[in-house]
Amino acid sequence: MALFNDEKTPRGSKHLKGISCDVKNCVYHDGDAYCTADRIAVGPTYASSTSDTVCATFKAKQGLMN
Read off the pTM: 0.66
Neighbours of 37 (CB within 10 A): 20
pLDDT value at residue 41: 94
pLDDT value at residue 1: 30
Q: How confident is the model at residue 2 (pLDDT cuts 50, 70, 90)?
A: very low
**Do 40 and 57 form a contact (C-beta atoms < 8 A)?**
yes
> DSSP per residue over 29-44, as a string?
B-SSSBB-SS---EE-
Domain ranges of the chain: 1-66
